[in-house]
Amino acid sequence: MLPLLLAGAAATVRRVRSSQAARLLLVWVLLYPAGDLLPESLDNAPHALRSFPGLGGLILLAALGAVAGWHWLRKRGPGLALGATAGLALMAAAETARFVWLYLGEYGRTPAVYHAFHVDLMRACDRLRPRLDGIDAVFCTVTEMNMPYSVLVVGLGSTPAQWFSEPHRTLAVGGWDTHVRDGKLNFLYWDDWKPAYEALRRNGRPDRVLFLVRPGELGLRDCPERIEGPPGTLPLLLCERTL
């Protein structure tokens, strides 16, 4: 991309006085870092989502560089332009193949990626969904998870009607709404899940409860259902109990 970007920058600068499109493209590219530099995220770090609008300018600049370079080479010989085009196509194909190989292979086996995309929790949803009606409550770990309450609502196929009719308990923590309870679903944030657990124990009737926990959490043993991930990841245990 770098040679194409440099060629595109040279072509844009040459046309900046005569072309409104060139001026717009130049401003777009120069403002590209603003998405990361001006707003601050909660952890004071750059955020990929805010920089996405700038990518269009870079893509157009590289495309302009490719066209300008092709015309420049064609004037010096059709063979040069054809050879450069073939070389560019081969490099693009190799880079795409490398990306697909990494993305579909090594990338998904990385522990941080495996946990960040909640692969284990979505697999647990597949097992939990057909038996959820017979479960009175679910208690879900938050270890190596980010907003598991959002994942479970989607993974279990909850409807808007369920969402508005079921009880919820939400805590405002660090600018985020952290859900401790969504209907049957409870999440092991601090000690705020314990009142719901104790209420089940003391209601005078047997309740079927499913725990989605990491090994060693809550002292649960004899959990035959396990979801194992790539080496270096924490397994997720499914433990069904009667309280």
Label each residue of 184-232 as H, E or C. Answer: CEEECCCCCCHHHHHHHHCCCCCCEEEEEECCCHHHCCCCCEEECCCCC
The residue type of 223 is: C
pLDDT at position 43 is: 57
Assigned domain for 73 exists:
yes
202 and 233 co-located in one domain? yes
138 lies in the same domain as 74 = no
pLDDT in tens, 28-73: 998 887 766 666 555 566 666 767 788 899 999 999 999 999 999 9
168 plus 207 within the same structural domain: yes
3-state secondary structure of 37: helix
- Closest to 72 in 3D by CA, of 7, 124, 164: 7
Q: Are 231 and 130 members of one domain?
A: yes
Does residue 232 share a domain with residue 142?
A: yes
**Residue reference for tokens 């601090």:** 190
- CA dist., res. 181 & res. 189, Å (int): 10
Residue 138 pLDDT: 96
Q: Which domain holds residue 236?
A: 117-242
The predicted pLDDT at position 40 comes to 59
Total of domains in the chain = 2
| C-alpha angle 61-67-69 in degrees, rounded to nearest 5 | 95
* 233 and 133 within one domain: yes
Q: How far apart are CA 65 and CA 175, in angstroms?
A: 44
Q: Check: CB of residue 207 under 8 Å from CB of residue 136.
A: yes
**Is 111 inside any structural domain?**
no
Residues 60 and 165 placed together within one structural domain of the fold: no
Task: Report pTM.
Answer: 0.71
Report which residue type is found at 82: L
Same domain as 137, residue 68: no
Cα 52-55-59 angle, rounded to 5 deg: 155
- Show the low-confidence residues of the chain (pLDDT under 70): 35-48, 50
Domain final position from 51, 74, 104: 104
**Judgement on whether residues 142 and 237 belong to the same structural domain of the protein:** yes
Q: How much is the pLDDT for 53?
A: 80
pLDDT at 224: 87
How would you classify the pairing of strands 168-173 and 176-182? antiparallel
Ranges of H-type helices in the chain: 2-15, 20-30, 34-37, 48-76, 78-104, 111-116, 119-128, 148-155, 160-165, 194-201
pLDDT at 174: 80
